[in-house]
A and B are shown apart, each in its own frame.
Chain A
Amino acid sequence: MSLRRVIATLRRLVQELHRDRRSMALLFVAPVVLTGLMAFVLRGQQLTPVSAVVVNEAGPVGNVIVGALDGALRTDGGTAVGAPDRVGAEAAVRSGTASIAIIVPSDFVARLTGGDQPNLVVITPGLEPTADSSQLVALQRALATAVAQSLPDAGARLPRLTVETLYGSPDDDVVDHLAPVFLGFFAYFFVYILTGISFLRERIGGTLERLLATPVSRGEIVLGYSLGFGLFATIQVVVLLAWTLLDLAIPAVGPVPAFSVGLAVPVAGSPFLAFLVVMLLALGAVSLGILLSTFARTELQVVQFIPLVIVPQALLSGVLFPVNSMPEILQAIARVLPLTYATDGLRQVVIRGADLTYGALQLDLLVLAAFVAVFAVLASATIRREVV
């Protein structure tokens, strides 16, 4: 073994790499920026104040508790207001004027004085589990204060919370909430990679030069690419959607125990609408891939865009952390990311059961369509006949 050759290899690598600015940035700058961003998202999470609507079925004592709860919530910027009945309270949560509904049952006082643990019914929206649980934590804290204040002789016995959700079911697990959103994310991600690399090959392989020496227009190229990769995105989304929603029971055969195929995620709305949301996102990803291939010279560089372009979107667009609880500045960024609207759209359809009459879903679809158009125009602009 020759030490000289080993050292020559080492030196060559250092020479090569330190001239490759992009790889250097990826090695040292990207991890700092990404973990910084993640810390900002996590530490900057603001607790959205609890605005509760309370249905009091427990008479005057209940009113005292509601009043004390209102006082306790107000110290954190929240409120508790009365509602005549459960239907009215649910309507308030559904329309977004209240973040949570509470029902104080008629046996509340009897249980409290009788030494039993009293019970409260809490109704959350159930769209974003993380947002809901932070609401519940804040509510529990306020309840502790309120109970101690209004019924000092109750021995600070905290009421038990029976949680119900407006959409989905409180039994939904993490997969039920994440799978539909990941569906959009994966389609976005893979279509971007495929288009980026495939278009880069056109650029560096000389076929784009040759293509531009024909009477083809840039719009024709982008539209052709969109249809081509749109076709593959369609197949991918159909497969993923089927896998997500499917719950195919396979009976036990001999030594093989019974099992089920698919993630068995319940879908409240139409799978076709979910498909529409993902398709619009995937079409945007085609143009994004063409756009970013302009800034890459090698296939590796297309992959290098993942931590710079794709990962921040996963952090900011509500896939993992609710957008509403992020710091203001990050919320502003989230509002210009297509993935934010696809994530919300998928939640609206799959969990909330939204159809085309829902304003929130209309907005999501409209914004996604606008992104497709804007990205397509930008992508066409990068396909110039003039390439040096």
Chain B
Amino acid sequence: MQASAQSLAPAVQAVDLRKSFGDLHAVDGVSFALPAGRIYGLLGPNGSGKTTLIRMLTGLGRPTSGVATVLGVAMPSRSNLARIGYMTQSDGIYSELTAVENVRFFAAMYGVRDSAAAEAALAVVDLAGRAGTLASQLSGGLRRRLSLACALVHRPPVLFLDEPTVGVDPALRVQFWTYFHELARDGVTIVVSSHVMDEADRCDELLFMRDGRVIAQGTSEELRARAGTQDLEAAFLHFSVDREPAT
């Protein structure tokens, strides 16, 4: 994993990113530079452009204009994908395969040669005991864990998680955040999207998104102080009304 060497240059950078589908401006001029080794929370309601933004940062979607850069490489870049982990909103795992077969498959796709990597990734998400279970027979929460293991198997220095805790019970949610903090401590940059404000305090830094724009950026305390409220939800509404440019 990448550590302090990367911390000077931004791990993830967006320069005036825009994506339009006809008249709809899904992402409407987003710019930010995120230093490495921290957890960034992309917060906003459904339809605010979070997934579209993440898809451009991972190179899955081509921006209408603007540039997305990950670890100094402009996206889309196929080779750079080996350094990026992406957990999609849907599980994106093969139901007819067992847990360990799924992880092994993605390990091969990422070009991982270490044969123990799949088992290690399963251990990280506490799924080692269910390695031989068919994915179709796993419960929803276990499938989310398996999906996370598939995104971690190549030990990427940058990780994009699109609504990782949707449909996940509170106990597992706490566990997920424990993993995320462990990874960040090892120098991994994590961008996690959510529409639930109560997860925001677990992030190092927040980006509020609304109507395809980043309306505010900063730590939870900073944003609350600037909005003059203790409540993050109220702060989000405050910035929504003001349409204050991101700082």
Contacts and interface: CB of A to CB of B under 8 A. Distances in A.
B217 interface: no
Contacts of B21: 388
B92 A206 contact: yes
A385 B60 contact: yes
Interface string B70-89: 00000010110110101011
A205 B90 contact: yes
Given A385-B60, A385-B76, A388-B21, A215 B111 contact: yes
B166 to A, nearest CB: 13
The listed residue with most A CB atoms (<10 A of its CB), out of B60, B79, B91, is B60
A264 interface: no
B60 A217 contact: no
A210 interface: yes
Given A205-B92, A206-B92, A211 B109 contact: yes
Contacts of A388: 21, 61
The listed residue with most A CB atoms (<10 A of its CB), out of B79, B92, B150, is B92
A126 B60 CA distance: 56
Interface string A119-147: 00000000000000000000000000000
A204 B20 CA distance: 23
B42 to A, nearest CB: 17
A213 B81 contact: yes
Q: Categorize the interface residue count of chain B.
A: 20 to 34
Tell me what chain B mostly uses at the interface: helix, strand, loop, or mixed.
Answer: loop
B78 A215 contact: yes
Contacts of B60: 209, 212-213, 385-387
A213 B58 CA distance: 7
Given A385-B59, A385-B76, A209 B88 contact: yes
A226 B68 CA distance: 34
Nearest to A214: B109
B209 to A, nearest CB: 19
B93 interface: yes
Contact of B110 (A206, A207, A212, A215): A215
Contacts of A209: 60, 88, 90, 92
B50 to A, nearest CB: 15
B81 A386 contact: no
Interface string B9-37: 00000000000010000000000000000
Nearest to A213: B86
Nearest to B106: A214
A216 interface: yes
Contacts of A216: 109
Contacts of B79: 215
Contact of A207 (B61, B78, B93): B93
A206 B62 contact: no
B176 interface: no
Given A385-B76, A386-B61, A214 B81 contact: yes
B177 interface: no
Interface in A212-247: 212-217
A215 B85 CA distance: 11
Contacts of A217: 78
Interface string A325-348: 000000000000000000000000
A215 B86 contact: no
A207 B94 contact: yes
Interface string B92-108: 11110000000000100
B58 to A, nearest CB: 5
Given A214-B81, A385-B60, 14 more contacts: A205-B92, A207-B92, A209-B90, A210-B92, A210-B93, A210-B106, A213-B58, A213-B59, A215-B79, A385-B59, A385-B61, A385-B62, A386-B60, A386-B61
Interface of B: 21, 58-62, 76, 78-79, 81-82, 84, 86, 88-95, 106, 109-111, 150
Interface of A: 205-207, 209-217, 385-388
25 contacts: A205-B90, A206-B89, A206-B90, A207-B92, A209-B92, A210-B86, A210-B150, A211-B109, A212-B60, A213-B58, A213-B59, A213-B60, A214-B81, A214-B82, A215-B79, A215-B82, A215-B109, A215-B110, A385-B61, A385-B62, A385-B76, A386-B60, A387-B60, A388-B21, A388-B61
In the A-B complex, the 7 residue pairs with the closest CB atoms: A206-B90, A210-B92, A206-B92, A214-B109, A213-B86, A215-B81, A215-B82
